[in-house]
Amino acid sequence: MRIGILGGGQLARMLALAGYPLGLEFSVLEPAADACALPLTRPVRSAYDDPAGLTQLAEACDRVTYEFENVPADAVAWLEQRVEVRPSPAALAVARDRLHEKRLFQEQGIGTAPFAPVDGPEDLERALASVGLPAILKTRTLGYDGKGQVVLNEGDEPAAAWKRIGGVPAILEGFVPFRREVSLISVRDANGTCRFYPLSENTHRDGILRLSLSRPEDPLQDQAETLARRVLEALDYVGVLAIEFFDLDGRLLANEMAPRVHNSGHWTIEGAVTSQFENHLRAVADLPLGETTPLGHAAMVNLIGAAPPTPDLLRIPGLHLHLYGKAPRPGRKIGHLTLVEETPERLQTRLAQVLERAPEVAW
């Protein structure tokens, strides 16, 4: 089966690497000439909203999926008339908009931080009154890695914050005193079968994910699966879905979701029987889902901006390196590394070795 992917970055690259062994073929629609998935797929070089490029992609594949949620809605709607798009455009429409996302969580009885829609500066005062301070003003769409967000503290000027995020439709979210952030990678096929990976426990710095630890026996696993299943079923979802949660002393609040493979699930390549990439493709291609059983305790460390010298990393026993073939640039995700050990203690020892050899990857 021929799979088309909207976007040719590292997620598309890792999807292709996982999918060739299943006998799948890959075309990628991507405007950038140096996108890192292009060397290993059939590239369709075009803007996402160029009808010629979209036509070429539609003709080159039997299914379409995407590696980011900010693909133009019109492009996806156009493609859907010609070829099956998974996850569905309806699911994408919810996941790409923070307000729709939060409302879906509410409808499904899933707790969230307090929030209020902000369509203009006049809404902001009202929102602040209901949400309280401190709070974060976030664009409804197009935000990622901490972009499109402004924190509002006592004494800040609301109008300035509204201007800083570009004066676009937004939501205001209250802070919640969370103990940790976890995410659940789940996958659902077209028959409704759902599978869930062990939770990931995530550490961010400057809004960018730095470290994910797999949590094979987390006490909140069942709670997370129950909540995720509601979302998967409400959206009649097909593919991998990632949901980020705040852990408030044992109660999970949904923060946001991503209708795609997710950075916090990269450890599944070596740390689970079937990776999130392979399972996403199995769902997209109507193949039976693979086991999500963990193969130990895993850690994933992002390489941000620049990577330490490859030999330094590869000398660490058992370290798995994933470079994306991207040029270094401050704040850019250019690779990750994964460690899998039998016990959390041995994993911590290995992580200490990583910090010793490559302190610049610190989380």
Under the rule (CB under 8 A), what is the footprint of a copy of itself? 13, 16-17, 20-23, 25-26, 39-42, 273, 282, 287-288, 290-291, 293, 295, 307, 310-311, 314-315, 317-318, 320-323, 325, 335
Closest contact distance (angstroms) between CB of 362 and a copy of itself is 21
**Choice between 61 and 152, CB closer to a copy of itself:** 61
226 membership: H or E segment, kind and range:
helix 221-234
Q: Are 118 and 137 in contact (CB under 8 A)?
A: yes
**Choice between 193 and 226, CB closer to a copy of itself:** 193
Burial 219-252 (b: 16+ CB within 10 A, else e): ebbebbbebbebbbeebebbbbbbbbbbbeeeeb
Closest contact distance (angstroms) between CB of 363 and a copy of itself is 21
**Choice between 128 and 358, CB closer to a copy of itself:** 358
**Choice between 64 and 285, CB closer to a copy of itself:** 285
Closest contact distance (angstroms) between CB of 286 and a copy of itself is 8
Tell me the three state secondary structure of residue 185. Answer: strand
What interhelical angle do 73-80 and 51-60 show, nearest 10? 40
Closest contact distance (angstroms) between CB of 195 and a copy of itself is 12
**Nearest alpha carbon to residue 258 among 66, 81, 111, 126:** 66
**Choice between 16 and 299, CB closer to a copy of itself:** 16
Closest contact distance (angstroms) between CB of 72 and a copy of itself is 28
Q: Are 135 and 150 in contact (CB under 8 A)?
A: no
Closest contact distance (angstroms) between CB of 91 and a copy of itself is 24
In angstroms, the CA 320 to CA 328 distance is: 20
**Choice between 211 and 319, CB closer to a copy of itself:** 319
Q: Beta-carbon neighbour count of residue 191 at 10 Å?
A: 10
